[in-house]
Amino acid sequence: MLSIIRFFICAMILVAAVACTAYDSTGLLGPVADSDGTHVSFNPPSDIPYNYANMLKGLPGGEVLDIGEFILFFSYINVSNGNALCLFEYDKRTGEVEYFCKNATCAHNTPGCAAYSLNGNLELVDGTVYAERKIINNGAYTIYMVELINGSFVNKAGPDFGVIRHWGSKAYGQTNDGALIYMPDSGKPETILEYFPHNTRVIVDGYYYTGIIEEIVRIDLRNPPYEPEIVVLPKNNLPIFTTDGTNLYYYDEFFHMVRSDMDGKNQQAVLEWPIWPPSVNFDDEYIYFSLYTGDSSEPENYNLYRMKLDLTGVPELLAELGFRIQSTYTFYQYDKLFLTSQNNYKLYAISKDGTGLAELMLPK
């Protein structure tokens, strides 16, 4: 079973990589046109706790962003040479979805469109929305950190600077090769870590956490020189993890969930069920997750579960979905979860009590 799960996890990572390259190959960078009428309101609840993934603080992260009355999210649209990511906004009150770009004459398939040519990594810092843009030209690509100004995403740092997230006054990003760097307000970017990091890249309390080869490591960003410190060696030899800001969550050789303090101490078993790692997310009270037993015909792999963060009680079946979850998103002070399905990457909203599953219908 382990090898099957390993295969699927590698496949999952590959799918993500392919998705990232599915851009319009003519996507040359030009000045980003003003997109007439694009509006967003930035009034999220202040001081959103870390355990909500909408602030690019965990895996999954950066594909969904709570900005107050609306939730921004990426979904795929058809373009001439395949599918491409496009940015949409979901109205929390009505459940309706619109293009992020409000230009009525825009086809939302050119780099000038505020909804198109982004690559994820959404983040909201002090009222400013950041994202990553990938530019492909003749098969080569580079990445930029972009900032939302007057309804358009404008290059802020790059080329070769994709944002991971901000901490303090600095933007921490990665290069095309995956090295971790930061961009001072002025001057030359500084390299912090040259390894290609694993999928999870988060900053908690001044430490940058990521996976390298078989280890979960952290780097104290306050104390150069920046030396990676091994925090955990997961028993499955895969540095796949997430965090609620208080604990690191990772897996043993059977993909049973284990957690520890952020420094790797006080390891404890969370659940001896085979967990699908990208599906894990948190709110104030619960851990949400789905399973993967290695056999797609088993119905329990199509279920959404939750269990108490304090590990009391037994896991609770929330919903039988009919699809396998890729990612789960939680939102602060909002009673719905977002789920992405693994086979078609459609997004769904579902109430936290497991009722009212509804696909987010994209505008025509």
Q: Does 113 bind Zn ion (CB under 5 A)?
A: yes
Q: Does 108 bind Zn ion (CB under 5 A)?
A: yes
Nearby residues of 79 by Cβ (< 8 Å), 6 or more positions away: 24, 109
> Which amino acid does the sequence have at 6?
R
User: Taking phi first (over 0 means left), then psi (-120 to 50 degrees means alpha), and beta for anything else, what does residue 23 get?
Assistant: beta
Q: Side-chain half-sphere of 145: how many Cα atoms within 13 Å?
A: 24
Q: Does 203 bind Zn ion (CB under 5 A)?
A: no
Instruction: Give the nearer residue to Zn ion in terms of CB position, either 131 or 287.
Output: 131
CB of 101 to Zn ion, least distance (A): 3
Q: Per CB under 5 A, which region of 79-87, 114-122, 262-270, 354-362 contacts Zn ion? A: 114-122
Q: Does 101 bind Zn ion (CB under 5 A)?
A: yes
Number of residues that bind Zn ion (CB under 5 A): 5
Q: Does 106 bind Zn ion (CB under 5 A)?
A: yes
Beta pairing class for 207-212 and 123-125: unpaired
Return d(Cα 54, Cα 52) in angstroms, integer. Answer: 6
CB of 116 to Zn ion, least distance (A): 6
Instruction: Give the nearer residue to Zn ion in terms of CB position, either 23 or 329.
Output: 23
Nearby residues of 15 by Cβ (< 8 Å), 6 or more positions away: none
CB of 363 to Zn ion, least distance (A): 11
CB of 65 to Zn ion, least distance (A): 18
Instruction: Give the nearer residue to Zn ion in terms of CB position, either 111 or 158.
Output: 111
CB of 147 to Zn ion, least distance (A): 18
Stretch (H or E) spanning 4:
helix 2-20
> ∠ CA(136), CA(9), CA(177), 5° rounding?
35
Residues 240, 9 contacting (CB under 8 angstroms): yes
Instruction: Give the nearer residue to Zn ion in terms of CB position, either 89 or 215.
Output: 89
CB of 225 to Zn ion, least distance (A): 45
Interface ranges with Zn ion (CB under 5 A) = 101, 106, 108, 113, 115
